[in-house]
Amino acid sequence: MAYSQKVVDKFEQTLKNPKEASVGRWKPGDKDFHRVGTGIVGAPACGDVMKLQIKCENIDGTNKIVDAKFKTYGCGSAIASSGELIDMLKGKTLEEAQNISNQEIVDILELPAIKIHCSVLAEEAIHRAIDDFKSRRNND
């Protein structure tokens, strides 16, 4: 199976310059950690685990994603899908982020049919991260 050049490029950029590609994490104790939502999806036994974190700020009464980070264990297209999702998220409101569909990632990366589950994983990751953020806010 051959990947599109877009998957290959995204994968290679991520490996070459992980920081610039938003690889990383916020951990408990970090300043602003209470404004971070974390979503972990997948399982090692299935060959894919995606961890997505979003940092939100309340701007004019709405929560906007100001930054996002990820780490992914998985095939090349899972790593590329995570990176692509991160690019989409920044600057979006939680509502807009909630509405991102996996199809957008499929289209941008031209994912082959057998790799569509990678994009589904990315969509699930953002839903989890948003839920986590909301549950934290309630606890504030």
- Which active-site residues does the annotation give? 46, 118
Strands of the sheet with 62-73, listed across from one edge? 36-43, 48-59, 62-73
Judge contact between 83 and 22, C-beta under 8 A: yes
Would you say 37 or 42 has its CB closer to another protein? 42
Contact between 46 and another protein (CB under 8 A)? yes
Q: How far is the CB of 38 from another protein (least distance, A)?
A: 10
Spell out, one character per residue from 89 to 118, where the chain touches another protein: x when CB under 8 A holds, - when not.
-------------------------x----
Q: Which stretch binds another protein (CB under 8 A): 9-17, 54-62, 97-105, 130-138?
A: 9-17
Contact between 10 and another protein (CB under 8 A)? no
Asked whether the CA dihedral 33, 39, 43, 44 is positive or negative, the reply is negative
Q: What is the 3-state secondary structure (H, E, C) of 25-56?
A: CCCCCCCCHHHEEEEEEEEHHHCEEEEEEEEE
Q: How far is the CB of 66 from another protein (least distance, A)?
A: 22
- φ/ψ of residue 107, rounded to 5: -70, -45
Contact between 47 and another protein (CB under 8 A)? yes
Contact between 54 and another protein (CB under 8 A)? no
Alpha helices in the chain (DSSP H): 5-16, 76-89, 94-98, 102-109, 116-139
Interface positions with another protein (CB under 8 A): 1, 3, 8, 11, 14-15, 18, 23, 25, 40-51, 71-76, 78-79, 114, 128
